[in-house]
Structure 1
């Protein structure tokens, strides 16, 4: 046999061995296959069968995986997979006890750190949503809206929120370097850690006997702090109230409901929905304090439990809402400890307003939409630069169509007045949004997209995207004071 023939036979033998090996890898997992067609995948029987299959699969991995691995790691992966498949960023399995403790501390009151509240934005950024009054963070210059990118020079942009929070915390009187981005610029602050007792309510008197109360979060003490602040304001002569809920990322539902019951004497507070059905409601108990004219301030960072209170006040006409459309987090989580000692928080229900309006991914549009002076908004700027022009010499009214209508719908949506589709049609929702915008801007509210309305709409959208000259002006507070005079 010549050398060429020997080489060909050897090659065929090697190729056969490779194919055989790959066939083994590809076909062995079929031992764990399960035919699911026609099965009731919601039944207890199905669950028990699949748990048995999972057990066999984990045993196989433990025995045959190329590296040594323990069951604890495999079980963590199973729990994390079951939570991750929900596709819900607010449902989290904590395989380390300290991760769960950090979440629990954030809503129950006292912890060590720098004195901020954070949430993960829709783009995955770690955003400061609360800076506690008198905290080390406030003294250092940290602001609401800052995006945390580094802790002690360690990049945290790809890190989970809980892991990042653990880096922020440490022993009292130790220092931590926190790097943030603000309006595109990066800044680093050296902050001395302290024991943080999260005081969530502050108050003061304004002109014309107007009491002002700010609630920064709904922790376990919020109802008591609210009651003390309200009593102090009344004692100081308050005849009306501004309740500032801006930049309040939420907290415990019970706290929001308790405050709502003090401000609303009769009616619903919120409804709970699970799997498409109303499973419960919170109602007023007839124990409200004596009412006084009230305006509540909200903005795009007012979320979760804050939206329960804002929705209850608006639907029950217990207060006028002023500001910007709220965040739109209309889901509640339950914090639980498993028998293993691991912890989890799982989204267990939606909450709706008293009138059963959806909050999640929609938010609450205030009675008076007012934008504050700002340095500009990058997300708004990106939207604004893609908008259609409003340069047709027309004045569209109900039922009419055109490019101006399409462009107006884009700008109304950016400003929080319109939540429908951009159809270029002056339908009922578009006319209603234009009327509301006209009313808020002291224009004649008749729902026609006239030249004055068009120009004002263009100006307000531009200011939101690129900023106004007076970045420190609080037009929302000014509007609240105007309504209560």
Structure 2
């Protein structure tokens, strides 16, 4: 069960700005059909449980293909045409969350879902004006960090492939590779160019960041719910509790979702016994996720939300609210209350199809409506123009501290 997120070594992700940027909002989970369309010699084959396709006029497709081959002014890429048919078929559902992935797109999506890949451990972005590829973030203890690469370094080339000449997705594939192999990275820093050799290694993408805000309140930032988020969350909470944490702020403002199993596993660590979320398909079949009494976090808590808080993150916020287990602060969430299932195809591609609606423990469907927090508060940066972001200058975090200290003082 997954939600696509920004890719490590692909796009700007972890750096917090003074104002909210657009979160990455995409869909979760599994698939009910397998489609194989083969266009070559104008053959269109369908396999799997597709039901009737009487309305699909294959002769029309054949005629269109004939016209394209006759009139189009350049050579025709048959593979690209075939991929376009697959994508178009899914687009016909008029559902932005039901999509076809090429083999490369599916590979990238799975890297993001698992939170692990072989690479150098840097987050890259490409300037649309200059074409320069820049490092946004370097993960701690990563190959990039060990090689001395830093945030804001400009990556000039990787093994001779120039960043300005390549599409960012393609450039990232030059950066990633087999564990233990080496790449030569040419980079620019403060106007000076240098070259460094970096050995690729398995990288675990951090989806949890944490710190003590004062002597009593801990802060846990959750960027997504991937395969490794639960382990990172448990390690963070244990460390914070060892430092004297008596209350906690969970920051979901940039969390576009992730794995249902991941978020419900974390809710199982937090909440007492009960239903944390349930899903219903078009036939009324219900799937229920529950928490038990084996673990429970008994302390005041705040959940920060925004319009970027979506899907699995809304499952988290909805459960905390319905259990009356914490205070939600911020702005209304995105409102993605449907789930998808992803099925890989034999050629390495995959499809993702919306298959159910999910409901909060109280039975509320939040799709297209979102969750309104207990305390509605627009984000405001409290610092000056020359100051950089800090939690002490974040009005929503400061409101959370105020609420929690009031509870601790009771």
- TM-score under structure 1 length normalisation: 0.55
Q: Secondary structure at the match of 1:477?
A: helix
Query: Does the 8 Å contact 1:250/1:302 carry over to 2?
Result: yes
1:254 match: 261
The structure-2 alpha-carbon separation of the partners of 1:340 and 1:60, relative to structure 1 and needing over 3 Å to count, comes to farther
The structure-2 alpha-carbon separation of the partners of 1:114 and 1:355, relative to structure 1 and needing over 3 Å to count, comes to same
Does 2:400 align with 1:480? yes
Query: Does the 8 Å contact 1:200/1:216 carry over to 2?
Result: yes
Does 2:71 align with 1:98? no
The structure-2 alpha-carbon separation of the partners of 1:198 and 1:345, relative to structure 1 and needing over 3 Å to count, comes to same
How do 1:160-171 and structure 2 match up within 5 A? 164-171=168-175
2:313 match: 306
1:197 match: 204
The structure-2 alpha-carbon separation of the partners of 1:203 and 1:469, relative to structure 1 and needing over 3 Å to count, comes to closer
The alpha carbon displacement at 1:133 in A equals 5.3
Offset from partner CA, 1:359-379 (integer Å, 9 cap, x none): 33322221112233249xxxx
The 1-side partners of 2:308 and 2:329 are apart by 14
The 1-side partners of 2:50 and 2:254 are apart by 44
Does 2:354 align with 1:347? yes
Offset from partner CA, 1:70-90 (integer Å, 9 cap, x none): 875554333212111122333
How do 1:110-125 and structure 2 match up within 5 A? 110-111=116-117, 112=119, 115-116=122-123
The structure-2 alpha-carbon separation of the partners of 1:50 and 1:166, relative to structure 1 and needing over 3 Å to count, comes to same
Query: Does the 8 Å contact 1:374/1:471 carry over to 2?
Result: no
The 2-side partners of 1:177 and 1:303 are apart by 36
The alpha carbon displacement at 1:109 in A equals 1.4
The structure-2 alpha-carbon separation of the partners of 1:173 and 1:90, relative to structure 1 and needing over 3 Å to count, comes to farther
Q: Secondary structure at the match of 2:272?
A: coil
The 2-side partners of 1:468 and 1:360 are apart by 37
Offset from partner CA, 1:284-339 (integer Å, 9 cap, x none): 23333242211122222222211111111111111111122222233333222113
The alpha carbon displacement at 1:169 in A equals 4.3
Offset from partner CA, 1:226-260 (integer Å, 9 cap, x none): 11222222222222222222212222111111011
How do 1:400-411 and structure 2 match up within 5 A? none
Greater relative CO, 1 or 2 (CA 8 Å, sep 6+): 2
Query: Does the 8 Å contact 1:109/1:197 carry over to 2?
Result: yes
Query: Does the 8 Å contact 2:100/2:350 carry over to 1?
Result: yes
Query: Does the 8 Å contact 2:114/2:226 carry over to 1?
Result: yes
The structure-2 alpha-carbon separation of the partners of 1:360 and 1:74, relative to structure 1 and needing over 3 Å to count, comes to same
Offset from partner CA, 1:406-434 (integer Å, 9 cap, x none): xxxxxxxxxxxxxxxxxxxxxxxxxxxxx
The 1-side partners of 2:327 and 2:297 are apart by 17
Query: Which structure is higher in helix share?
Result: 1
Please, which runs of 5 or more residues in structure 1 have no aligned partner?
A: 1-42, 119-129, 143-150, 157-163, 179-189, 376-466
The alpha carbon displacement at 1:224 in A equals 1.4
Does 2:342 align with 1:335? yes
The 2-side partners of 1:295 and 1:328 are apart by 20
Q: How many residues are treated as equivalent by the alignment?
A: 314
How do 1:363-402 and structure 2 match up within 5 A? 363-374=370-381
Please, which runs of 5 or more residues in structure 2 have no aligned partner?
A: 1-48, 126-135, 154-161, 176-181, 189-193, 406-410
Q: CA RMSD in A?
A: 4.1
1:285 match: 292
The structure-2 alpha-carbon separation of the partners of 1:356 and 1:155, relative to structure 1 and needing over 3 Å to count, comes to farther
The structure-2 alpha-carbon separation of the partners of 1:44 and 1:80, relative to structure 1 and needing over 3 Å to count, comes to closer
Bigger-Rg structure (1/2): 1
Does 2:114 align with 1:108? yes
Query: Does the 8 Å contact 2:303/2:329 carry over to 1?
Result: yes
Match of 1:140 among 137, 144, 151: 151
The 2-side partners of 1:197 and 1:229 are apart by 15
The 2-side partners of 1:117 and 1:252 are apart by 24
1:214 match: 221
Query: Does the 8 Å contact 1:113/1:168 carry over to 2?
Result: no
Does 2:329 align with 1:322? yes
1:245 match: 252
